[in-house]
Structure 1
Protein backbone atom coordinates (compact mmCIF):
# COMPACT_ATOMS: atom_id res chain seq x y z
CA UNK A 1 0.00 0.00 0.00
CA UNK A 2 1.39 3.39 -1.00
CA UNK A 3 1.60 5.60 2.08
CA UNK A 4 3.63 8.52 0.75
CA UNK A 5 7.07 9.56 -0.42
CA UNK A 6 10.33 10.86 0.98
CA UNK A 7 10.06 14.60 1.55
CA UNK A 8 13.55 15.08 3.02
CA UNK A 9 16.65 13.06 3.89
CA UNK A 10 18.84 14.41 6.69
CA UNK A 11 22.27 13.07 7.58
CA UNK A 12 24.37 14.10 10.59
CA UNK A 13 28.05 13.43 9.79
CA UNK A 14 29.01 14.66 13.29
CA UNK A 15 26.92 13.55 16.23
CA UNK A 16 24.86 16.43 17.74
CA UNK A 17 25.94 18.94 15.09
CA UNK A 18 23.37 20.26 12.65
CA UNK A 19 22.83 17.82 9.80
CA UNK A 20 22.80 18.21 6.04
CA UNK A 21 19.74 17.85 3.83
CA UNK A 22 20.68 15.59 0.91
CA UNK A 23 18.98 14.40 -2.25
CA UNK A 24 20.17 10.78 -2.15
CA UNK A 25 22.30 8.37 -0.14
CA UNK A 26 22.80 4.74 0.71
CA UNK A 27 21.03 2.86 3.46
CA UNK A 28 23.61 0.71 5.21
CA UNK A 29 23.09 -1.99 7.83
CA UNK A 30 23.50 0.71 10.49
CA UNK A 31 21.30 3.34 8.82
CA UNK A 32 22.10 6.29 6.56
CA UNK A 33 25.59 6.25 5.10
CA UNK A 34 27.85 8.19 7.47
CA UNK A 35 25.15 9.21 9.91
CA UNK A 36 26.78 10.07 13.28
CA UNK A 37 29.99 8.51 11.99
CA UNK A 38 32.18 11.24 13.49
CA UNK A 39 31.93 12.17 17.16
CA UNK A 40 33.46 14.34 19.83
CA UNK A 41 34.05 12.60 23.13
CA UNK A 42 33.27 14.21 26.48
CA UNK A 43 36.39 13.67 28.56
CA UNK A 44 34.46 14.44 31.75
CA UNK A 45 32.07 11.51 31.16
CA UNK A 46 34.53 8.62 30.96
CA UNK A 47 34.57 8.42 27.19
CA UNK A 48 30.90 9.05 26.44
CA UNK A 49 29.91 11.22 23.48
CA UNK A 50 29.59 14.98 23.76
CA UNK A 51 26.02 15.96 22.86
CA UNK A 52 23.62 18.88 22.91
CA UNK A 53 22.54 17.77 26.38
CA UNK A 54 25.91 18.89 27.75
CA UNK A 55 26.80 21.61 25.23
CA UNK A 56 23.73 23.28 23.72
CA UNK A 57 25.59 25.36 21.14
CA UNK A 58 26.44 22.21 19.19
CA UNK A 59 23.13 22.75 17.37
CA UNK A 60 24.58 25.89 15.74
CA UNK A 61 27.50 24.07 14.12
CA UNK A 62 26.74 22.39 10.79
CA UNK A 63 28.59 19.34 9.53
CA UNK A 64 28.66 18.16 5.93
CA UNK A 65 30.46 15.66 3.75
CA UNK A 66 32.43 17.17 0.88
CA UNK A 67 33.01 14.73 -1.97
CA UNK A 68 31.56 11.50 -3.32
CA UNK A 69 30.38 8.70 -1.09
CA UNK A 70 32.84 5.82 -1.03
CA UNK A 71 32.84 2.46 0.69
CA UNK A 72 36.61 2.72 1.28
CA UNK A 73 36.52 5.89 3.35
CA UNK A 74 34.23 8.78 4.13
CA UNK A 75 34.49 12.04 2.24
CA UNK A 76 36.07 15.00 4.00
CA UNK A 77 33.96 16.33 6.87
CA UNK A 78 33.62 20.11 7.01
CA UNK A 79 32.13 22.11 9.87
CA UNK A 80 30.56 25.54 9.48
CA UNK A 81 30.65 27.54 12.71
CA UNK A 82 27.86 29.89 13.86
CA UNK A 83 30.00 32.76 12.54
CA UNK A 84 30.26 31.15 9.11
CA UNK A 85 33.88 29.97 9.32
CA UNK A 86 34.65 26.63 7.66
CA UNK A 87 36.99 24.07 9.23
CA UNK A 88 37.93 20.45 8.83
CA UNK A 89 36.18 18.68 11.72
CA UNK A 90 39.54 17.90 13.40
CA UNK A 91 41.16 21.29 12.76
CA UNK A 92 43.05 22.39 15.87
CA UNK A 93 41.46 25.85 15.82
CA UNK A 94 37.95 24.33 15.76
CA UNK A 95 38.77 21.89 18.54
CA UNK A 96 40.18 24.71 20.66
CA UNK A 97 37.03 26.79 20.10
CA UNK A 98 34.75 23.91 21.07
CA UNK A 99 36.82 23.05 24.13
CA UNK A 100 36.83 26.66 25.33
CA UNK A 101 33.08 26.98 24.89
CA UNK A 102 32.18 23.62 26.38
CA UNK A 103 34.80 23.88 29.14
CA UNK A 104 36.04 20.33 28.65
CA UNK A 105 38.54 18.33 26.63
CA UNK A 106 36.96 16.68 23.58
CA UNK A 107 38.97 13.92 21.90
CA UNK A 108 37.62 12.81 18.51
CA UNK A 109 36.38 9.41 17.42
CA UNK A 110 35.22 8.26 14.00
CA UNK A 111 34.12 5.07 12.31
CA UNK A 112 34.32 3.45 8.88
CA UNK A 113 31.69 3.41 6.10
CA UNK A 114 31.07 -0.27 6.74
CA UNK A 115 30.60 0.02 10.49
CA UNK A 116 29.00 2.59 12.75
CA UNK A 117 27.89 1.07 16.07
CA UNK A 118 24.38 1.82 17.29
CA UNK A 119 25.71 3.87 20.21
CA UNK A 120 26.69 6.97 18.21
CA UNK A 121 23.50 6.82 16.15
CA UNK A 122 20.80 6.26 18.78
CA UNK A 123 18.98 3.18 19.95
CA UNK A 124 18.08 2.05 16.44
CA UNK A 125 19.15 2.47 12.82
CA UNK A 126 16.90 5.14 11.30
CA UNK A 127 14.57 7.77 12.76
CA UNK A 128 11.51 8.71 10.71
CA UNK A 129 8.92 11.44 11.14
CA UNK A 130 5.92 12.52 9.05
CA UNK A 131 4.78 15.87 7.74
CA UNK A 132 1.29 15.35 9.20
CA UNK A 133 2.67 14.76 12.70
CA UNK A 134 4.89 17.84 12.49
CA UNK A 135 1.93 19.94 11.37
CA UNK A 136 -0.29 18.58 14.16
CA UNK A 137 2.37 19.21 16.79
CA UNK A 138 2.70 22.78 15.54
CA UNK A 139 -1.06 23.20 16.00
CA UNK A 140 -0.97 21.68 19.49
CA UNK A 141 2.02 23.77 20.55
CA UNK A 142 0.52 27.01 19.23
CA UNK A 143 3.72 29.04 19.42
CA UNK A 144 4.86 29.23 15.81
CA UNK A 145 6.60 26.92 13.40
CA UNK A 146 7.92 23.61 14.67
CA UNK A 147 11.42 23.21 13.28
CA UNK A 148 11.95 19.55 12.33
CA UNK A 149 15.65 19.92 13.14
CA UNK A 150 14.76 19.84 16.85
CA UNK A 151 13.82 16.16 16.42
CA UNK A 152 16.83 15.17 14.27
CA UNK A 153 14.97 12.73 11.98
CA UNK A 154 16.80 10.97 9.15
CA UNK A 155 13.77 10.72 6.88
CA UNK A 156 10.70 12.94 6.76
CA UNK A 157 7.76 11.24 5.07
CA UNK A 158 5.15 13.18 3.14
CA UNK A 159 2.02 11.14 3.78
CA UNK A 160 -0.55 10.44 1.10
CA UNK A 161 -3.26 10.51 3.80
CA UNK A 162 -2.42 13.30 6.24
CA UNK A 163 -3.21 11.47 9.47
CA UNK A 164 -1.08 12.70 12.41
CA UNK A 165 0.89 10.06 14.33
CA UNK A 166 -0.28 7.26 11.99
CA UNK A 167 3.36 6.08 11.94
CA UNK A 168 2.98 4.90 15.54
CA UNK A 169 0.28 2.47 14.40
CA UNK A 170 2.79 0.88 12.01
CA UNK A 171 5.22 -0.29 14.69
CA UNK A 172 5.94 -3.96 13.98
CA UNK A 173 5.31 -3.55 10.25
CA UNK A 174 7.67 -3.12 7.32
CA UNK A 175 7.98 -0.48 4.64
CA UNK A 176 9.66 -0.51 1.24
CA UNK A 177 11.37 2.65 0.00
CA UNK A 178 12.08 2.96 -3.71
CA UNK A 179 13.04 -0.26 -5.44
CA UNK A 180 15.34 -1.90 -2.87
CA UNK A 181 15.28 -0.64 0.70
CA UNK A 182 13.16 -2.29 3.37
CA UNK A 183 12.83 -1.28 7.02
CA UNK A 184 10.75 -2.38 9.97
CA UNK A 185 9.22 0.09 12.40
CA UNK A 186 10.40 -1.07 15.81
CA UNK A 187 9.47 1.56 18.39
CA UNK A 188 8.66 5.06 19.53
CA UNK A 189 11.30 7.75 19.91
CA UNK A 190 11.06 8.92 23.50
CA UNK A 191 12.08 12.57 23.71
CA UNK A 192 14.59 14.36 25.94
CA UNK A 193 15.68 17.97 26.56
CA UNK A 194 17.34 18.24 23.14
CA UNK A 195 14.03 19.22 21.51
CA UNK A 196 13.87 22.26 23.82
CA UNK A 197 16.99 23.75 22.17
CA UNK A 198 16.36 26.23 19.34
CA UNK A 199 18.47 25.08 16.34
CA UNK A 200 19.31 28.66 15.36
CA UNK A 201 19.94 30.36 18.72
CA UNK A 202 20.69 27.38 21.01
CA UNK A 203 18.33 28.93 23.56
CA UNK A 204 16.06 26.62 25.55
CA UNK A 205 12.26 26.69 25.75
CA UNK A 206 10.62 23.80 27.59
CA UNK A 207 7.12 24.45 26.25
CA UNK A 208 7.48 22.26 23.13
CA UNK A 209 8.72 19.34 25.19
CA UNK A 210 5.85 19.81 27.64
CA UNK A 211 3.44 19.66 24.69
CA UNK A 212 4.95 16.39 23.45
CA UNK A 213 4.73 14.95 26.97
CA UNK A 214 1.13 16.07 27.44
CA UNK A 215 -0.24 15.29 23.99
CA UNK A 216 1.72 12.20 22.89
CA UNK A 217 3.19 10.52 25.98
CA UNK A 218 6.63 12.10 25.32
CA UNK A 219 6.99 10.33 21.96
CA UNK A 220 7.64 11.84 18.56
CA UNK A 221 8.83 9.92 15.51
CA UNK A 222 9.49 6.22 15.14
CA UNK A 223 12.65 4.14 14.91
CA UNK A 224 13.18 1.62 12.14
CA UNK A 225 15.62 -1.25 11.68
CA UNK A 226 17.17 -1.86 8.28
CA UNK A 227 16.06 -5.11 6.67
CA UNK A 228 17.39 -4.59 3.13
CA UNK A 229 20.05 -2.06 2.18
CA UNK A 230 20.16 0.05 -1.00
CA UNK A 231 19.87 3.58 -2.34
CA UNK A 232 17.21 6.10 -1.39
CA UNK A 233 16.30 9.41 -3.02
CA UNK A 234 14.06 12.35 -2.22
CA UNK A 235 10.61 11.68 -3.74
CA UNK A 236 11.02 7.88 -3.58
CA UNK A 237 7.69 6.19 -2.98
CA UNK A 238 7.14 4.47 0.37
CA UNK A 239 4.94 1.40 0.56
CA UNK A 240 3.61 -0.31 3.67
CA UNK A 241 4.08 -4.05 3.22
CA UNK A 242 1.55 -6.72 4.14
Structure 2
Protein backbone atom coordinates (compact mmCIF):
# COMPACT_ATOMS: atom_id res chain seq x y z
CA UNK A 1 0.00 0.00 0.00
CA UNK A 2 1.04 3.59 -0.60
CA UNK A 3 -0.09 6.93 0.75
CA UNK A 4 0.02 10.01 -1.48
CA UNK A 5 1.07 12.89 0.73
CA UNK A 6 1.53 15.66 -1.81
CA UNK A 7 2.77 16.74 -5.22
CA UNK A 8 6.00 18.37 -6.36
CA UNK A 9 5.43 22.11 -6.52
CA UNK A 10 9.02 23.35 -6.98
CA UNK A 11 12.35 21.88 -8.02
CA UNK A 12 15.51 23.77 -7.08
CA UNK A 13 19.10 23.16 -8.07
CA UNK A 14 22.13 25.11 -6.80
CA UNK A 15 25.01 24.65 -9.29
CA UNK A 16 27.43 26.66 -7.11
CA UNK A 17 27.16 25.91 -3.41
CA UNK A 18 25.97 28.77 -1.18
CA UNK A 19 24.72 30.88 -4.09
CA UNK A 20 21.11 31.27 -5.17
CA UNK A 21 19.97 28.53 -7.50
CA UNK A 22 17.71 27.86 -10.45
CA UNK A 23 14.11 26.64 -10.58
CA UNK A 24 13.48 23.71 -12.89
CA UNK A 25 10.51 21.97 -14.46
CA UNK A 26 12.22 18.58 -14.24
CA UNK A 27 15.54 17.05 -13.27
CA UNK A 28 17.38 13.75 -13.32
CA UNK A 29 18.15 12.43 -9.86
CA UNK A 30 20.95 9.93 -9.17
CA UNK A 31 22.85 8.66 -6.15
CA UNK A 32 24.43 12.10 -5.71
CA UNK A 33 21.08 13.92 -5.82
CA UNK A 34 19.82 16.27 -8.53
CA UNK A 35 22.21 16.16 -11.46
CA UNK A 36 24.68 19.03 -11.07
CA UNK A 37 23.43 20.17 -7.67
CA UNK A 38 26.21 21.87 -5.66
CA UNK A 39 28.73 20.32 -8.03
CA UNK A 40 30.78 23.53 -7.84
CA UNK A 41 31.78 25.65 -4.87
CA UNK A 42 33.87 28.71 -4.09
CA UNK A 43 37.10 27.34 -2.64
CA UNK A 44 39.94 29.23 -0.94
CA UNK A 45 43.65 28.46 -0.88
CA UNK A 46 43.22 26.40 2.29
CA UNK A 47 40.68 24.16 0.62
CA UNK A 48 37.70 25.50 2.57
CA UNK A 49 34.40 26.03 0.77
CA UNK A 50 32.53 29.33 0.74
CA UNK A 51 29.48 29.21 3.00
CA UNK A 52 27.39 31.19 5.44
CA UNK A 53 29.24 29.70 8.40
CA UNK A 54 32.72 28.82 9.67
CA UNK A 55 33.45 25.14 10.35
CA UNK A 56 36.24 22.66 9.75
CA UNK A 57 35.15 22.38 6.10
CA UNK A 58 33.53 25.75 5.41
CA UNK A 59 34.58 29.39 5.52
CA UNK A 60 32.06 32.18 5.91
CA UNK A 61 32.09 34.36 2.80
CA UNK A 62 29.43 37.07 3.19
CA UNK A 63 27.66 38.04 -0.01
CA UNK A 64 27.51 34.71 -1.81
CA UNK A 65 23.75 34.47 -1.33
CA UNK A 66 23.31 37.66 -3.35
CA UNK A 67 24.74 35.82 -6.36
CA UNK A 68 22.99 33.09 -8.34
CA UNK A 69 24.14 30.21 -10.49
CA UNK A 70 22.63 28.18 -13.31
CA UNK A 71 23.57 25.81 -16.11
CA UNK A 72 22.91 27.66 -19.39
CA UNK A 73 23.62 24.52 -21.43
CA UNK A 74 22.52 21.90 -18.89
CA UNK A 75 24.53 20.23 -16.12
CA UNK A 76 26.92 18.57 -18.58
CA UNK A 77 28.49 21.99 -19.12
CA UNK A 78 30.00 24.58 -16.75
CA UNK A 79 27.76 26.75 -14.57
CA UNK A 80 27.20 30.45 -15.09
CA UNK A 81 27.65 32.79 -12.15
CA UNK A 82 25.13 35.65 -12.03
CA UNK A 83 25.83 38.94 -10.31
CA UNK A 84 23.30 40.60 -7.93
CA UNK A 85 21.55 42.11 -10.97
CA UNK A 86 21.11 38.71 -12.61
CA UNK A 87 23.77 39.23 -15.27
CA UNK A 88 26.18 36.42 -16.11
CA UNK A 89 29.78 37.38 -15.35
CA UNK A 90 32.35 36.59 -18.07
CA UNK A 91 35.11 35.42 -15.71
CA UNK A 92 33.70 33.91 -12.49
CA UNK A 93 37.05 33.56 -10.71
CA UNK A 94 38.10 37.16 -11.38
CA UNK A 95 34.64 38.42 -10.41
CA UNK A 96 34.61 36.43 -7.14
CA UNK A 97 38.01 37.80 -6.14
CA UNK A 98 36.83 41.38 -6.63
CA UNK A 99 33.39 40.79 -5.15
CA UNK A 100 34.62 38.97 -2.03
CA UNK A 101 37.81 41.00 -1.66
CA UNK A 102 39.89 37.83 -1.55
CA UNK A 103 42.73 36.96 -3.92
CA UNK A 104 42.71 33.24 -3.09
CA UNK A 105 39.24 32.10 -4.19
CA UNK A 106 38.08 30.28 -7.32
CA UNK A 107 35.24 28.11 -8.51
CA UNK A 108 36.11 24.47 -7.90
CA UNK A 109 34.38 21.33 -9.12
CA UNK A 110 33.70 18.62 -6.54
CA UNK A 111 36.46 16.04 -6.28
CA UNK A 112 36.67 13.25 -3.69
CA UNK A 113 34.97 15.14 -0.83
CA UNK A 114 31.28 15.96 -1.22
CA UNK A 115 30.19 19.59 -1.29
CA UNK A 116 26.98 18.70 0.59
CA UNK A 117 26.66 19.73 4.22
CA UNK A 118 24.69 16.59 5.01
CA UNK A 119 22.68 14.35 2.63
CA UNK A 120 22.08 14.86 -1.11
CA UNK A 121 18.36 15.62 -1.22
CA UNK A 122 16.34 18.11 0.85
CA UNK A 123 12.53 17.99 0.74
CA UNK A 124 10.26 20.60 2.34
CA UNK A 125 6.47 20.88 2.55
CA UNK A 126 4.28 23.89 1.91
CA UNK A 127 2.68 23.19 5.31
CA UNK A 128 5.98 23.82 7.07
CA UNK A 129 6.71 26.90 4.95
CA UNK A 130 3.28 28.32 5.80
CA UNK A 131 3.98 27.77 9.49
CA UNK A 132 7.27 29.68 9.29
CA UNK A 133 5.49 32.59 7.62
CA UNK A 134 2.88 32.66 10.38
CA UNK A 135 5.56 32.48 13.08
CA UNK A 136 7.42 35.57 11.81
CA UNK A 137 4.74 37.96 10.54
CA UNK A 138 6.17 40.87 8.62
CA UNK A 139 9.33 38.98 7.61
CA UNK A 140 9.45 37.87 3.96
CA UNK A 141 9.82 34.09 3.91
CA UNK A 142 9.91 31.66 1.03
CA UNK A 143 11.66 28.39 0.28
CA UNK A 144 14.91 30.13 -0.66
CA UNK A 145 15.59 30.69 3.05
CA UNK A 146 15.96 26.92 3.46
CA UNK A 147 17.47 25.89 0.11
CA UNK A 148 15.47 22.72 -0.52
CA UNK A 149 15.68 20.69 -3.69
CA UNK A 150 12.00 19.76 -3.70
CA UNK A 151 9.02 21.64 -2.30
CA UNK A 152 5.98 19.40 -1.83
CA UNK A 153 2.50 20.88 -1.96
CA UNK A 154 0.56 19.23 0.87
CA UNK A 155 -3.24 19.15 1.30
CA UNK A 156 -5.03 21.77 3.42
CA UNK A 157 -4.91 20.84 7.08
CA UNK A 158 -1.51 19.16 6.90
CA UNK A 159 0.33 19.91 10.12
CA UNK A 160 3.65 21.78 10.03
CA UNK A 161 6.78 19.66 10.28
CA UNK A 162 4.88 16.76 8.74
CA UNK A 163 8.27 15.77 7.28
CA UNK A 164 9.06 14.20 10.68
CA UNK A 165 6.59 11.42 9.89
CA UNK A 166 8.58 10.43 6.81
CA UNK A 167 11.87 9.73 8.55
CA UNK A 168 12.89 6.10 8.34
CA UNK A 169 10.55 5.49 5.41
CA UNK A 170 10.93 5.16 1.66
CA UNK A 171 8.95 7.17 -0.88
CA UNK A 172 8.27 7.03 -4.59
CA UNK A 173 8.32 10.29 -6.53
CA UNK A 174 6.78 10.17 -9.97
CA UNK A 175 7.18 6.95 -11.95
CA UNK A 176 10.55 5.53 -10.90
CA UNK A 177 12.43 7.72 -8.43
CA UNK A 178 12.63 6.26 -4.93
CA UNK A 179 14.21 7.98 -1.95
CA UNK A 180 14.81 7.05 1.68
CA UNK A 181 14.17 9.74 4.28
CA UNK A 182 16.86 9.69 6.96
CA UNK A 183 16.79 12.81 9.14
CA UNK A 184 16.03 16.53 9.10
CA UNK A 185 18.46 19.40 8.63
CA UNK A 186 19.84 21.23 11.64
CA UNK A 187 19.42 24.87 10.65
CA UNK A 188 22.02 27.57 11.22
CA UNK A 189 22.20 31.34 10.90
CA UNK A 190 22.25 31.05 7.10
CA UNK A 191 18.43 30.93 7.20
CA UNK A 192 18.50 34.51 8.52
CA UNK A 193 20.87 35.86 5.88
CA UNK A 194 19.83 38.46 3.34
CA UNK A 195 19.66 37.25 -0.24
CA UNK A 196 18.48 39.04 -3.34
CA UNK A 197 15.08 40.48 -2.30
CA UNK A 198 14.93 38.78 1.13
CA UNK A 199 16.21 40.93 4.03
CA UNK A 200 18.25 39.72 6.97
CA UNK A 201 16.18 38.65 9.97
CA UNK A 202 17.25 36.77 13.12
CA UNK A 203 13.62 35.92 13.88
CA UNK A 204 13.46 32.98 11.48
CA UNK A 205 16.02 30.75 13.15
CA UNK A 206 14.72 31.72 16.59
CA UNK A 207 11.22 30.61 15.64
CA UNK A 208 12.39 27.27 14.24
CA UNK A 209 14.62 26.72 17.27
CA UNK A 210 11.79 27.35 19.75
CA UNK A 211 9.25 25.23 17.92
CA UNK A 212 11.35 22.41 16.50
CA UNK A 213 14.88 22.37 17.93
CA UNK A 214 16.29 24.12 14.80
CA UNK A 215 15.27 21.15 12.60
CA UNK A 216 13.37 21.71 9.36
CA UNK A 217 12.85 19.57 6.19
CA UNK A 218 13.49 15.88 5.44
CA UNK A 219 16.88 14.81 4.12
CA UNK A 220 17.00 11.78 1.87
CA UNK A 221 19.29 9.40 0.05
CA UNK A 222 18.42 8.08 -3.39
CA UNK A 223 17.41 4.40 -3.51
CA UNK A 224 16.41 4.17 -7.17
CA UNK A 225 17.49 6.90 -9.62
CA UNK A 226 14.84 8.53 -11.77
CA UNK A 227 13.42 11.78 -13.04
CA UNK A 228 11.37 14.26 -11.04
CA UNK A 229 8.86 16.61 -12.66
CA UNK A 230 6.61 19.38 -11.43
CA UNK A 231 3.27 17.84 -10.48
CA UNK A 232 4.69 14.40 -9.66
CA UNK A 233 3.11 12.73 -6.66
CA UNK A 234 5.12 11.84 -3.57
CA UNK A 235 3.93 8.55 -2.12
CA UNK A 236 5.10 7.04 1.13
CA UNK A 237 5.56 3.29 0.74
CA UNK A 238 4.27 1.06 3.52
TM-score above 0.5: yes
Relative to structure 1, the CA distance from residue 233 to residue 201 in structure 2 (aligned partners, 3 Å threshold; closer, same or farther) is closer
Relative to structure 1, the CA distance from residue 193 to residue 33 in structure 2 (aligned partners, 3 Å threshold; closer, same or farther) is same
1:50-199 aligned at under 5 Å gives the runs 50-53=50-53, 54-69=60-75, 74-88=76-90, 90-100=91-101, 103=102, 105-111=104-110, 119-160=114-155, 162-199=158-195
1:216 paired residue number: 212
1:41 paired residue number: 43
Q: C-alpha distance in 1, partners of 2:92/2:204?
A: 35
Q: C-alpha distance in 2, partners of 1:185/1:131?
A: 17
Q: C-alpha distance in 1, partners of 2:175/2:86?
A: 39
Give the 3-state SS of the residue equivalent to 2:131 in structure 1: helix
Give the 3-state SS of the residue equivalent to 2:79 in structure 1: strand
Long gaps (5+) in structure 2: 54-59
Q: CA deviation at 1:104?
A: 5.2
> CA offsets, 1:76-128, max 9 Å, x none?
3111101343125x54531332342xx352133114xxxx7673122111011
Relative to structure 1, the CA distance from residue 84 to residue 232 in structure 2 (aligned partners, 3 Å threshold; closer, same or farther) is closer
Relative to structure 1, the CA distance from residue 156 to residue 202 in structure 2 (aligned partners, 3 Å threshold; closer, same or farther) is closer
> CA offsets, 1:193-242, max 9 Å, x none?
10010222675321111111111111111101110001111111111100
Structure 2 length-normalised TM: 0.89
Aligned residues of 1:191 and 1:219 also touching (Cα < 8 A): yes
Long gaps (5+) in structure 1: none
Relative to structure 1, the CA distance from residue 129 to residue 117 in structure 2 (aligned partners, 3 Å threshold; closer, same or farther) is farther
Relative to structure 1, the CA distance from residue 127 to residue 58 in structure 2 (aligned partners, 3 Å threshold; closer, same or farther) is same
2:56 paired residue number: none
Aligned residues of 1:12 and 1:18 also touching (Cα < 8 A): yes
Q: C-alpha distance in 1, partners of 2:16/2:94?
A: 17
Give the 3-state SS of the residue equivalent to 1:176 in structure 2: strand
Give the 3-state SS of the residue equivalent to 1:18 in structure 2: coil
Q: C-alpha distance in 2, partners of 1:124/1:92?
A: 27
Aligned residues of 2:17 and 2:38 also touching (Cα < 8 A): yes
2:8 paired residue number: 6
Relative to structure 1, the CA distance from residue 209 to residue 91 in structure 2 (aligned partners, 3 Å threshold; closer, same or farther) is closer
Give the 3-state SS of the residue equivalent to 2:16 in structure 1: coil
Q: C-alpha distance in 1, partners of 2:78/2:47?
A: 24
Relative to structure 1, the CA distance from residue 92 to residue 142 in structure 2 (aligned partners, 3 Å threshold; closer, same or farther) is closer
